[in-house]
Structure 1
Amino acid sequence: MHSENWDDLRFVLAVAENGTVSGAARQLGVNHATVLRRVAAFETRFGVAVFDRTAKGYTVRPERLRMIEAAREAENAVQSVARMLQGEQAPVMGSVRVSSTDSLCQFVLPEIVGTLHKDVSGLRIALMSTNARSDFSRAQADIAVRPTDELGEDMVGDVGAQLGFGVYATDDGQKDWLGLAGPLTRSLAARWMAERVAPEQIVSAADSFVVLTYMAGMGLGRAVIPCVLGDADARLKRLDDGGLPSAPIWVANHVDMAGVSRIEATRRYLLQGLDGMKEQLLGVV
């Protein structure tokens, strides 16, 4: 690839990483118009459209994902060679978007990511908090950390720990129940409730275990929530749960991203971090 082509590709990569032209301009230290001109030059030269342009920003087209990843690997390789020539060990570098539930994003992953950043300074981790499954075909995330009993057929990964659940309330005498709504209706906890709790006993619901924890802590009813949330709330006590199942926490990525160095490195750290917290996550007391 000619040097000017590679230089244009740097602008394409910056837009792909930031999702906006303004973000790419800040990263590269140029103005908005320069980014637009360089991206347009690349697309014109190769006769391809790399991005879908929407009101929210720029999204890499599904058929161009492999091209973007190859370009990122090439960029990292060039930087690695430069460091080796300088006698330095070339670290893994790049941005990685990790999609997970609000429970794990608030109570578990920040500690793991903090350790990762201390050990691997070249990686930049963005936590994407959502209880809905991310659409990896549209490049909304690079890695998923999800408590689920099975992965989609287009995903590969490993189980880092088990997420334990319990029934929590402010006191044993609480008879009302708090239900699960939205994406949580597909969870193992929802299946357990459907088999044991009559609909008329459910007085309210939420689509977030974090919200359910607060509601239970206010005395609004019993709630099935992850032990890592319930045990941390001094207002709540764990009641007899009658055999609630635990959910495996998968650390996974799309099959097309297998072998990408920055993603593999991040996955290893996430798996190690989850393993180090396995008793807390399972709710062992």
Structure 2
Amino acid sequence: MKEPARTLAWDDFRLIDAVATTRNLPAAAARLGIDHSTVFRRLKAIEALVGTPLFERHRTGYALTPAGEEMAALAARVDEDITAVTRRLIGQAPAPAGEVRLATSDSLLTELLMPMLAAFRRLNPAIRLDLVTGNAALNLSRRDADVAVRATDAPPDTLVGRRAARIAWGLYGSVMVAPATDPVMESDWVCLGDNLSSLKVVRHAQAMVPAERLGGRFDTVLGLAHAVASGMGVGHLPCFIGDTWPGLTRLAPPDPAYASDLWLLTHPDLRRTPRVRALLDHLTETIAAKRALIEGTAAGMA
């Protein structure tokens, strides 16, 4: 089979441009990082390929022929195009895409994260979110989730993450019920159940509130918040709920002893995945903007 005819390559145009710019072979060779004899040999091969001289040799150096001027102009245009495309692509990583499964509690999702996730989707339309709510521990190694947003002071050693804020808990009551002179000693209480006993505020209620004054226990923070707002009893709630619900009023400032860390967690194998990193970066930034509310120090609330 007959070999296909060789065509000009970009390296050929670079050589033509170098000779046209420097007007002599040694300088062109230095510019290209090759030796003088190689430039001479390749230039002759290019001229043989196109079938016409591209340069004329004069006492002052190499001068372009009409055909050479056309080739040099093409080389300059191609170089400009390559430079422009390269410059545009250098800082332009592919947009992250795919699915991210996010696990969190219902209270964190509905009362804090939902607007942040909506903004994330507007910025990253190629990423789909799969939301899993509940307080049960998930195994990120088995991909029960890619990212977990959890309130905990002891994140699993098998995960990596960022501590985004410190969740403050304050004592709240219903605006529909006149506050007792001493709500701690005189009011009925509601609290969280044993499923959340890892939280210090839950252990306090279990230890300090007499059984006859305990109006109810709830297995979710949202359930507890609704119970307080309905007047069933006073109870400790995260400040990002207690300070934003119109049906709740703060009865005592947050106790630092009840605070818990808010963690953004993922598996080590996933932390550099573009879609996971994009979500973690977005949540870190947007949670930081709400830190005063989360930590109970928002204006007018302390």
* TM-score of the pair, normalised by structure 2: 0.62
In the alignment, residue 218 of structure 2 is paired with which amino acid? Answer: A
2:274 paired residue number: 261
Q: 2:285 corresponds to which letter in structure 1? A: Q
Q: Aligned AA for 2:296?
A: G
- Work out the CA distance in 1 between the residues paired with 2:228 and 2:104: 23
Tell me, in whole angstroms, the C-alpha distance in 2 between the residues paired with 1:151 and 1:271: 17
2:196 is equivalent to residue 184 of structure 1: yes
* Secondary structure in structure 2 of the residue aligned to 1:257: coil
CA distance in 2, matches of 1:185, 1:119: 38
1:145-204 deviation line (CA, Å, top 9, x unaligned): 011101111111011112111111124225111121142222122123234323332121
DSSP 3-state at the match of 1:271: helix
Give the stretch that moved more between structures: 234-243 or 119-128.
234-243
C-alpha distance in 1, partners of 2:212/2:254? 20
Would you say 1:141 and 2:153 are equivalent positions? no
2:265 to 230, 252, 256: 252
Residue 168 of structure 2 contacts residue 255 of structure 2 at CA under 8 Å; is this kept in 1?
no
Structure 2 residue ranges without an equivalent (≥5): 1-85
Checking the alignment, whether the CA contact within 8 Å between 2:254 and 2:296 is kept in structure 1 is no
1:96-115 equivalences under 5 Å are 96-115=100-119
Distance in 1 between the 2:254 and 2:276 partners? 39
Greater radius of gyration (CA): 2
CA distance in 2, matches of 1:205, 1:220: 11
Task: Read off the aligned partner of 2:164 and give its amino acid letter.
Answer: G
Contact 2:170 2:254 in 1 (8 A): no
The equivalent position to 1:93 in structure 2, one of 97, 111, 114, is 97
RMSD over aligned CA atoms reads 2.3
In 2: Cα distance, 1:274 partner to 1:147 partner: 13
Which whole-Å CA distance do the structure 2 matches of 1:254 and 1:242 have between them?
Answer: 32
Provide the TM-score with structure 1 as the length reference: 0.65
The corresponding residue for 2:24 is: none
SS of residue in 2 equivalent to 1:225: strand
Mapped pair 1:172 → 2:179: yes
**Matching of residue 234 in structure 1 with residue 223 in structure 2:** no
Describe the superposition over 1:75-123 as per-residue Cα deviations: whole angstroms up to 9, x where unpaired.
xxxxxxxxx9x97752011110111111111011111111111222221
What stretches of structure 1 of length at least 5 have no aligned partner? Answer: 1-83
Q: Do structure 1's residue 224 and structure 2's residue 210 form an aligned pair?
A: no
User: What is the alpha-carbon distance in structure 1 between the residues aligned to residue 152 and residue 160 of structure 2?
Assistant: 13
Give the partner amino acid of 1:196.
M
Percentage identity across aligned positions? 25
Provide the residue aligned with 1:281 in structure 2.
294
Q: Secondary structure at the match of 1:108?
A: helix
Match of 1:28 in 2: none
Q: Distance in 1 between matches of 2:127 and 2:273?
A: 13
Aligned pairs, number: 202
- 1:203 corresponds to which of 194, 207, 215: 215
Q: Tell me whether 233-242 or 261-270 shows the greater mean CA deviation.
A: 233-242
